[in-house]
Amino acid sequence: MKILVVGSGGREHALAWKLAQSERVQTIFVAPGNGGTATDARLKNIAISDPAALADFAEQEHIALTVVGPEVPLAAGIVNIFRARGLKIFGPTKEAAQLESSKDFAKSFMQRHHIPTAEYQTFADLQAAHAYIDAKGAPIVIKADGLAAGKGVVVAMDLHEAHAAVDMMLSDNKLGDAGARVVIEEFLAGEEASFIVMVDGKHILPLATSQDHKRLLDQDAGPNTGGMGAYSPAPIVTPQLHARVMREIIVPTVQGMAKDGIVFTGFLYAGLMIDDHGNPKTLEFNCRMGDPETQPIMARLKTDLVQVMEHAVNGTLDSVELEWDRRTAMGVVMAAAGYPDAPRKGDVISGIPPETADSVTFHAGTSLNDKTLHSSGGRVLCVVGLGDTVKLAQKHAYDVVEKIHFDGAQYRRDIGWRALNRKH
Ligand SMILES: Nc1ncnc2c1ncn2[C@@H]1O[C@H](COP(=O)(O)OP(=O)(O)O)[C@@H](O)[C@H]1O
Ligand SMILES: [Mg+2]
């Protein structure tokens, strides 16, 4: 069987790596892939990115199943295009992907269906937005409505910052169309967790929980990034909280979409803020897996992912029971010099050790030129360590990180600190 994975990041390397473990797989194509997917003999990169051209490719190659990693092709309707041509694909339609591609859509959806989230209002008018900020006070959160590759949210700790964020989006058009409308919402305090499920239109299959590290520097200092590391499971998500998130957020979301006439299929990711009393609220939805959360999650998945995906596209996820490695998986991102503002490209990468029973390195911004691996993006690698304890998983990850070299590499030394500090 041939499978197509769409995307080029660490998430897609991890998905392709896991799919390739299935005995039933002949080839996995990754479009466009990266230096890691280029070096793995079971994977084959193809330089196609246009959704219609990918559908042509899937038809010609008799691809049994396509899995989409990133949000941009989903929001562009790649699932609609594939389905219209009778091709099997796992992901949300363009309509369903609005849960991620429009924050205003997601907020009004949550309000309509009584899904816990921060209080908000949406503005296109500059003066009205400024007036709302003055009325509400700081801290307050300003979000561009559209997709902004992680650069569309300003958590403003004072009024000056809040007004400046609104000017940047609505008046200076720094984010283009994505910032033509802004959601202004209540600041929520607490601890974040990533809650990801698979949905086949009807049935919901939760994946293992995880927690990301958004800030560039240790102790959650420095600018926001795409994510500097993640681990699974996230101990903050106790079995009780898990049940509550399913009951109050995930199930009402899938049912609410159906009520609104949109069948949700694909990965559904709820970004949660959990307050001091353990009450969860939804910060946002993504309609795909997280990056870097996918890397530790895939490292722990024992079940054949091809089989799971087949159930997902056939509407039979209710017959799947996932088996997880009981160990903790800790993913540490190694980023390029200058990340996140202006990542440098072209540094030679050396020293990546082969995969072992307790570590695996996933590539993100890498490319293979003349058999040499170079950096080609902001987040370069994600090293995953596995261990019976959080501490051991962390040690296994950092042992590998220290063996890898490229000039200017940036990484946090404290990935996993929340789980380590937790008293059980
Ligand atoms: N209402 C909020 N209160 C406090 N922090 C928030 C709030 N909304 C978002 N954030 C912070 O901003 C980050 C990015 O916001 P999010 O809605 O996830 O947008 P995106 O991932 O599309 O950039 C979150 O991970 C969280 O740290
Ligand atoms: Mg987010």
- Residue minimizing CA distance to atom 22 of ligand 1: 150
CA distance 71 to 16: 17
**One domain, residues 76 and 132:** no
Q: Is residue 113 part of a domain?
A: no
Pairing mode of beta strands 27-32, 2-7: parallel
Read off the amino acid at residue 61: E
Q: How many CA atoms lie within 13 A of 363 on its CB side?
A: 28
Verify whether ligand 1 is closer than 6 Å to residue 271 (CB atom): yes
Tokens 């390029």, located at residue: 336
What residue type is 194 in one-letter code?
S
Residue 346 has which token pair?
């072209």
The mean pLDDT of the chain is 97
Report whether pLDDT(424) > 60: no
Residues 219-232: tens digit of each pLDDT: 999 999 999 999 99
* pLDDT tens by residue, 312-323: 999 999 999 999
Residue 266 falls inside a structural domain: no
Ligand nearest to the CA of 282: 1
Ligand 1: residue whose CA is nearest its atom 8:
283
Average pLDDT over every residue of 209-214: 96
Does residue 260 sit within a domain? no
Q: Count the residues in the chain.
A: 424
How many structural domains is the chain composed of? 2
Residue range 369-379: mean pLDDT, rounded: 95
The residue to which tokens 């000056």 are assigned: 160
Judge if 12 and 72 occupy the same domain: yes
* CA 189/CA 110 separation, integer angstroms: 19
CA distance 201 to 203: 6
According to the model, what pLDDT value does residue 149 have?
86
The tokens for 30 are 């990754």
* DSSP classification of residue 210: B
Q: Is the minimum distance from the CB of 191 to ligand 1 under 6 angstroms?
A: no
| Nearest to 272, CA basis, from 299, 240, 236, 314 | 236
Does ligand 1 lie within 6 Å of residue 71's CB atom? no
How many Å lie between the centroid of ligand 2 and the Cα of residue 116? 16
3-class DSSP state of 146 = coil
- What is the span of the domain harbouring residue 75? 2-93
Q: According to the model, what pLDDT value does residue 150 have?
A: 81
Residue 157 lies inside a defined structural domain of this protein: yes
Q: Which of 180, 207, 225 is the last residue of a domain?
A: 180
Res 172: pLDDT: 87
Q: Is residue 153 part of a domain?
A: yes
Query: Cα separations (Å) of 316 from 21, 93, 310?
Result: 22, 18, 8
- Same-domain check for residues 137 and 85: no
Tell me which DSSP letter residue 219 carries: G
Among 356, 350, 330, 334, which residue's Cα sits nearest to residue 404?
350
From the list 209, 366, 216, 421, the residue with the least C-alpha distance to 296 is 209
Q: What's the CA gap between 154 and 142, in Å, rounded?
A: 5
Identify which of 283, 293, 418 to mutate to test ligand 1's pocket (most ligand atoms within 8 A of the CB).
283
CA of 271 to the centre of ligand 1 (A): 8
Pocket test residue of 104, 120, 153, 182 for ligand 1, highest count of atoms within 8 A of CB = 153
> Is residue 52 scored above 90 in pLDDT?
yes
Q: How far is the CA of 97 from the centre of ligand 2 (A)?
A: 15
Residue at 64 is within a domain: yes
If one residue of 71, 103, 141 were mutated to test the ligand 1 pocket, choosing by the most ligand atoms within 8 A of its CB, it would be 141
Please check whether residues 81 and 139 belong to one and the same domain: no
CATH at residue 148 = 3.30.1490.20
Domain's final residue, options 163, 180, 197: 180
Decide: 118 in ligand 1 pocket, CB within 6 A. Answer: yes
For ligand 1, say whether the CB of 187 is within 6 Å of any of its atoms.
yes
In the predicted structure, residue 351 carries a pLDDT above the cut 80 = yes
Report whether residue 57 contacts ligand 1, using a CB cutoff of 6 Å: no
Residue 220: CB within 6 Å of ligand 1?
no
CA angle 292, 45, 79 (to 5 degrees): 70
Rg (alpha carbons) of the chain, rounded to whole number: 21
Best probe residue, ligand 1, of 143, 155, 182, 211 (max atoms within 8 Å of C-beta): 155
CATH of the domain at 66: 3.40.50.20
16, pLDDT greater than 90: yes
Is the beta carbon of 185 within 6 A of some atom in ligand 1? yes
100 contact partners, CB below 8 Å, separation of at least 6:
71, 74, 75, 106, 147, 284, 285, 286, 287, 288
pLDDT of residue 423: 65
Q: Report if residue 284 sits inside a domain.
A: no
One domain, residues 7 and 66: yes
So what's the pLDDT on residue 422?
84
How large is the angle between the packed helices 126-136 and 159-166, nearest 10 degrees?
Answer: 160
CA distance 72 to 103: 15
The share of the chain scoring above pLDDT 90, in percent, equals 96
- Three-class SS state of 328: strand
Number of separate helices (H) and strands (E) present in the chain: 15, 22
pLDDT score of 110 = 98
Cα(153) to centroid(ligand 1), Å = 6
Does the C-beta of 414 come closer than 6 Å to ligand 1?
Answer: no
Q: Using CA positions, which residue lies closest to atom 20 of ligand 1? A: 150
Quote the ligand 1 centre to 251 CA distance (angstroms): 22
Helix axes 305-314 and 10-19, enclosed angle (nearest 10):
100
Q: Is residue 307 part of a domain?
A: no
Under 8 Å between Cβ of 146 and 75: no
Domain boundary among 69, 93, 117: 93
Residue 308 has pLDDT above 90, yes or no: yes
